[in-house]
Chain A
Amino acid sequence: MFAEKYKKAYQSISPALELQQEVLAQADSLWNGSREEDDRGRPGRVEVEKTGARVNARRINMAVRAAAAFMAIGLGMFKIMPAFASHVPAFYRVIESISPVLADRLVPVEKSCSSQGITMEVEAVALEGREAEIIVSMRDDEGSTADRIHGQIDLFDSYELVSYGGDMTIGGSMFLYYDDASDKAYFKITAQSSEEYRGDKLRFAVREILCDKASERRQISLKGVEDAAATRVVEINGMSGMMEEEELPESLKAAGGTEKDAGGSRRVLDLTDAAECAADGFTVTGGAYMDGVLRLQICMGDTRHADRHVQPFLVDAAGKERSEDYSISWQETVGDTSYQFYEYWFVGGIEDLTDYSMYGIFHSSGEWVEGDWKVIFRIA
């Protein structure tokens, strides 16, 4: 009789005792947790204010905001459903909650390699025409005593995605979040190819990573800001801002009169010798308020094996925040050390500097690890 055989077959199918105990513990926790929330009334608000996330979130850029959203929603979801789908990778549930469309296209890859005691795994890929989105994770090797992956890390722009079919250009890398349970730091890489993907083989490689990324809000004193300071011309290696070049005051536009390309030269504050700055940290070299422009200069130290950057902002008496209008960067080399400088310009709109306070979000990184992580995988 089928019924008897079927029943007999299922007799041995039962939940493991550990699983049962885990569910009971979670039920207990959820039950008590929901009672506490009922008692408190508005638990979410208290938590946000306590962590200060509301304050900081206003200062971080879009990529970091997106990552924060991934983290917040992801972690929030796991809090609600602590045990859901343990064998479905944690990142998948996070992406599913943020971008169901992306989750719907993700195909597992699960190919990994190890270097320097760290395992890189290409977890999944989503293809849409010439666009590819790749989920990558990094974790310490099993048995590794070096605890290097335990939070946000950075691929330090050292990754490449190579197609054996068409040409490939990288669109960007975004840190998603760190998952405690699996000890993995997740990233999303976007890439575009010159041709549509058709079951190509791809190679994803990373050469360097930065561990222990951190951000800290610090106040920057405006007491030492001068109203007249000497300037000098430097060759810049970067510039950005909301203002167009044409909108800048004449004193901030490309500096002429040098033998080099005037478009790459700018006149900056002549404040401190590079050798006096910290090579492994931040040095606020000073500032000046001249011709209606507040200029702030910060040396990031040697950033060849580190990622340090600052997002400065002014706060007026009413608490209103204002970011810089333009910034430029340049390098100065002393011996074997290459110092990276930034100068931030707040153009116009400041009647009395004493009405303002200045702050900065200082982003820094810890250990730099050079490795050889390469995974070749086929996309069907």
Chain B
Amino acid sequence: MHKENQLEEVILRNSDRVYKFAYSLVKTRMDADDIYQEVFMRYVKAKPAFASSEHEKAWFIKVTVNCCKNYWKSPWMRCRDVFDEAKVHLLKTSPDASHEAVKAMWDDEEDKCLIEMVKQLPEKYRVVIHLFYYEEMSIEEIAEATGMKASTIRTRLTRARRKLRERLGGL
């Protein structure tokens, strides 16, 4: 098969996965768009050869996390929070914002509300929440993809669940 077609297939195969994961880790769709593009540009430049579908999935998850780390570290994005819309301002300045308040801001759209509540968690918890609940990865798989110890992942998952339980009232 021609190399270009292979590249395209890999991109399309991982498109949704990368975007959803990126969106779970950043603030807005625009941010997710940027991470999405960056991940695939890195893929095209690196042109890695994947030994298996698990290897491919792990590679994209790892690179997405790395791209998001740059995003989080970016002083511009850090500072940008101050100037974000009222929604983000409220979530930032009132981490204990009630479920009702956030829900009202999202016009009672339960899905968006859930996503936003998860987004209030620190990024280290969001990574494990998304990979565990959406990608259905095991703790060991998450550990391998993120380069952390399984025990650390387990602890983070427990803490993330506890925090979400406090906010969502049941998990």
Contact = CB atoms under 8 A, between A and B. Distances in A.
B114 interface: yes
Interface string B29-50: 0111110111011011100000
Contacts of B24: 10
Interface in A92-116: 92, 96, 103-108, 110
Contacts of B41: 23, 26-27, 30, 81-84
Given A84-B38, A88-B77, A13 B4 contact: no
Chain B's interface size range is 35 or more
Contacts of A28: 4, 8
B75 interface: yes
Given A27-B8, A27-B40, A85 B34 contact: yes
Contact of A87 (B20, B31, B114, B118): B31
Contacts of A108: 76, 79-80, 82-83
A34 B15 contact: no
Given A83-B37, A87-B34, A103-B75, A6 B44 contact: no
B125 interface: no
Given A9-B114, A27-B40, A83-B37, A92 B171 contact: no
Nearest to A3: B133
A223 interface: no
B79 A106 contact: yes
A2 B164 contact: yes
Given A6-B114, A9-B114, A15-B19, 7 more contacts: A2-B171, A9-B115, A19-B36, A20-B15, A31-B7, A88-B74, A107-B79
Interface of B: 3-4, 7-8, 11-12, 15-16, 19-20, 23-24, 30-34, 36-38, 40-41, 43-45, 74-77, 79-80, 82-83, 110-112, 114-115, 118, 129, 133-134, 164, 168, 171
Interface of A: 2-3, 5-10, 12-16, 19-20, 22-24, 26-28, 30-31, 34, 81-89, 92, 96, 103-108, 110, 124, 380
3 A-B pairs closest in CB distance: A83-B37, A9-B111, A15-B19
